[in-house]
Structure 1
Amino acid sequence: MKKIRILHIIKSLGRGGAEMLLPETLKLHDKEKFEFHYIYFLSWKDQMVEAIKEAGGKVTCFEAKDNIRLLTQYKKIIGYCKEHKIDLIHCHLPWAGFAGRLVHWRTNIPVIYSEHNMQERYHPVTKILNKYSFNSQSMAIGVSEDVTLSISKNISPDIPVKTVLNGVNTDAFIKSGSLRTKQELGIPADALVIGNVAVFRFQKRLIEWLRVFKTISDRNSNVYGLIIGAGPLEDEIKKEWKSLGLENKVFFPGLKTDVKPYFEVMDVFMMSSSFEGLPIALLEAMSMECAIVSTNAGGIKEVVRNKIDGLVCETNELGKLEVLVQKMIKNPDSLTKFKRAARDRVRAKFSLNIMVKELEELYSNQAKLEH
């Protein structure tokens, strides 16, 4: 049987949510039916490259230092598609999407576009380009109902738009009980750890996260923090970290390809985001039995049902995060209950197996339409 050749196009292969999904879904895809290729553009953001190759993907970088240069690479993408007889293109995030639409316009190769964010949160130029080019592709995917509704509200597309919820590999993200990370960081074995995994951007509100943690820490001496990631606001965030006197209480391990050792030691995964699509780190944390305390930004409210799977508050009430965490600290049975509930929730509704099955059905249908 002839394999269906899929080309994923994405701006970078660094450690972002959309990027992390590519090797994880590839591990579960039916390699007898599909062949997977990947093109990215920011050569210095390549943390996922080896993981994709190890899972059987073919990776190529058409280097582009900015968004305009990225778009000019579309002729190279067309050449790649002809050389490798690509049957379908799957683009992720706007600028890769714009490049994919140019290829679709010139070649008529089916293009699926995955939207990971809310339209309202994009730069005005990105919003305009997205709106007026959106129908120049075969179909679109929203990673949460909120994202799909945002597309409908802001773009009103003529092409089909389907929600395919992000997922996590619950067989891979499972707690083993290792305390090695605590030992390496010098955190006491019996300490309660509050963590987050995030790109250091404004939307994650990590400065406010630190302030909330400070209040919690002042009332609970055996509480420690972990923030895994990096990004443009790192200097500002670490300045606040020092100003709050948290150098020996909150640790910044940096950008990590493998975050499981850090989820291993987290008791509470606390998110302070002002907006989200459907964050992969949240699903990973839940699969690793971290109790969830979060704002209800974007797709988070589709995952975490308040007082059932975790505790949530409004995005404009960040101070309430401290109150919600304190409830768990004061009631160990409640903390244990929410840890188990988090994993049960993702296993039932946000398994990567479900996501992969839905994607493969879309790939097969679009490839049939081509012929």
Structure 2
Amino acid sequence: MAKIKILHIIKSLGRGGAEMLLPETLKLHNKEKFEFHYIYFLPWKNQMVEALTEAGANVNCFEAKDNIRLILQYKKIIAYCKEQEIALIHCHLPWAGFLGRLVHKKTGLPVLYTEHNMQERYHIATKTINKLSFNSQNLAFGVSDDVSNSIKKNIKPNIPVKTLLNGVNTNSFVRTSDSKVRKELGIPDDAIVIGNVAVFRFQKRLVEWLRVINKIREENPNVYGIIVGAGPLEEEIKEEWKRLKLQNVVFFPGLKTDVKPYFEAMDIFMMSSSFEGLPVALLEAMSMECAVVSTDAGGIKEVVRNGKDGLTLPVEEWRELSEKLTILVQDIAKLKKFQKAARNRVKESFSLQRMVGELEEYYVEAVKL
């Protein structure tokens, strides 16, 4: 029986949440039934290419310096689909979505689209094009109910919109050993380490994150921090880091493809975000038994039930994160309880195996149409 050939289209393969899900899902897909191809457009954002290739993917970069040039690659995409006998296209995020919809109109190939963000957060041009083109595809997924409802409210599409919750490979993201990262960074063995893994964008509120760490350290000097990632606001964030004199307390390892050693160094995963879809890093941290203290932005509240799986509070009350952290920092038994609860939650409801199984069912259904 011939394999069903799936083409994923995404703007970049850097280390964002949407991008890093691709190699993780590929590891679990049925390779006897499906063959997977990936096309991206920003050659300098290629951190996930090696992981995809190792997992058996066909990866190609069709270089495009801006969004207009990206859209103009549609003829190359059509030629690639014909040459490789692609049966279905799966696009991620708006600009890849716009391109996939154009290919759909020209060829009739089935196109599925995954939306990772709230429509309200996009630039007016992106929102407008999204609304105008959205029905030129077969099916859309929101990564959380919040994201799906945002599509329905703002776009009012005629095509089906389903919620397909992000997942994490709970067999891969397992805490296994003492942290080498702590030793490398010079963090004391008895310290409580609070961490985050994020792209340095405004919605992550990492300046505020640093202020929370500074606040809790007034009474708990054994608290340290790690922020893994990079991004456009790095200079602004590090200026605040210096202003607060946290250089020997909060560490910035930079952009990392393998984040598991950093999760192993963390006791608590803290997010101060103003908005989110459903953050993959949160699911990974929970699978790695990091207790969660977070704002309830977007899909976070669908994952973390306050007081049961972690501690959350409303987005606008981010300053009170320090009080939530203090509860765990000063009560190790409670900290351990929430660490176990975090892993149990993702194992029960947010496993990547469940997500991949659902996705393959949608692929088969779409190809039959």
- Which position in structure 2 is the counterpart of 1:28? 28
- Which position in structure 2 is the counterpart of 1:253? 253
CA distance in 1, matches of 2:357, 2:117: 22
- Which position in structure 2 is the counterpart of 1:109? 109
| 1:178 CA displacement | 2.1
| 1:74 CA displacement | 0.7
Correspondence 1:169 to 2:169: yes
Partner amino acid, structure 2, of 1:223 = V
**Contact 1:104–1:136 under 8 Å retained in 2:** yes
SS of the residue 2:318 aligns to: coil
SS of the residue 2:100 aligns to: helix
Q: How does 1:293-312 map to 2 (within 5 A)?
A: 293-312=293-312
- Which position in structure 2 is the counterpart of 1:50? 50
Q: CA RMSD in A?
A: 0.5
CA distance in 1, matches of 2:213, 2:189: 19
Correspondence 1:93 to 2:97: no
- Which position in structure 1 is the counterpart of 2:366? 366
Residues 81-121 of structure 1 show CA distances to partners (whole Å, capped at 9, x for unaligned) of: 00000000000000000000000000000000000000000
CA distance in 2, matches of 1:351, 1:166: 8
CA distance in 2, matches of 1:221, 1:270: 17
CA distance in 2, matches of 1:335, 1:58: 43
Q: How does 1:1-371 map to 2 (within 5 A)?
A: 1-369=1-369
CA distance in 1, matches of 2:168, 2:265: 19
| 1:331 CA displacement | 1.2
Partner amino acid, structure 2, of 1:214 = N
Partner amino acid, structure 2, of 1:230 = A
- After TM superposition, the score normalised by the length of structure 1 is 0.99
- After TM superposition, the score normalised by the length of structure 2 is 1.00
CA distance in 1, matches of 2:65, 2:8: 19
Partner amino acid, structure 2, of 1:79 = A
Partner amino acid, structure 2, of 1:291 = A
| 1:65 CA displacement | 0.9
SS of the residue 1:196 aligns to: strand
Query: Can you give the 5+ residue segments of structure 2 that lack an aligned partner in the other structure?
Result: none
CA distance in 1, matches of 2:7, 2:292: 35
Residues 22-74 of structure 1 show CA distances to partners (whole Å, capped at 9, x for unaligned) of: 00000000000000000000000000001000000000000001111100101
CA distance in 2, matches of 1:189, 1:70: 49
CA distance in 2, matches of 1:189, 1:333: 17
SS of the residue 2:345 aligns to: helix
CA distance in 1, matches of 2:327, 2:183: 27
| 1:177 CA displacement | 2.4
CA distance in 2, matches of 1:320, 1:130: 36
**Contact 1:179–1:189 under 8 Å retained in 2:** no
Query: Can you give the 5+ residue segments of structure 1 that lack an aligned partner in the other structure?
Result: none
Runs of 4+ in 1 over 2 A off after TM superposition: none
| 1:321 CA displacement | 0.4
